[in-house]
Amino acid sequence: MRFDRTALVATAVALAAVVATPHAQVTYGRLVRAAAEPQNWLHYWGDLQGTHFSPLKSITPANVAQFLNYKLDVFVVGFFAGTASVGRYTLAVSLAQLLWLMSNSVASVLLPKVAASTASSDDGGSPARPAKPRPGDRVAGRVGGRKRGPG
Residues 6+ apart with CB under 8 A from 43: 31, 34, 50
Q: Which of 107, 76, 105 is nearest to 90 (CA)?
A: 76
Same domain? For 45 and 71 the reply is: no
Same domain? For 71 and 103 the reply is: yes
Per-residue pLDDT for 83 more than 80?
yes
Same domain? For 44 and 65 the reply is: no
Q: Looking at the domain assignment, is residue 123 inside a domain?
A: no
| Region 68-90 average pLDDT | 91
Indicate the number of domains in the chain: 2
Confidence at residue 121, expressed as pLDDT on a 0 to 100 scale: 45
Q: Looking at the domain assignment, is residue 75 inside a domain?
A: yes
Same domain? For 68 and 108 the reply is: yes
Q: What is the DSSP letter of 34?
A: G
The alpha carbon dihedral of 94, 95, 98, 99 has a sign of negative
Kindly state the helix (H) or strand (E) to which residue 53 belongs, with its residue range. Answer: none
Domain extent, residue 18, equals 9-55
Same domain? For 77 and 109 the reply is: yes
Confidence at residue 78, expressed as pLDDT on a 0 to 100 scale: 92
Q: Which of 110, 111, 71, 113 is nearest to 89 (CA)?
A: 71
Percent of the chain with pLDDT over 70: 68
Which ranges of the chain does DSSP label H, i.e. alpha helix? 5-20, 28-32, 61-81, 83-117
| Region 114-138 average pLDDT | 64
Q: Per-residue pLDDT tens for 6-17?
A: 777 777 777 766
If pLDDT is split at 50, 70 and 90, which confidence band does 93 have? very high
Q: Looking at the domain assignment, is residue 132 inside a domain?
A: no
Report d(CA 102, CA 121) in Å as an integer.
Answer: 33
If pLDDT is split at 50, 70 and 90, which confidence band does 136 have? low
Q: Looking at the domain assignment, is residue 131 inside a domain?
A: no
Same domain? For 46 and 65 the reply is: no
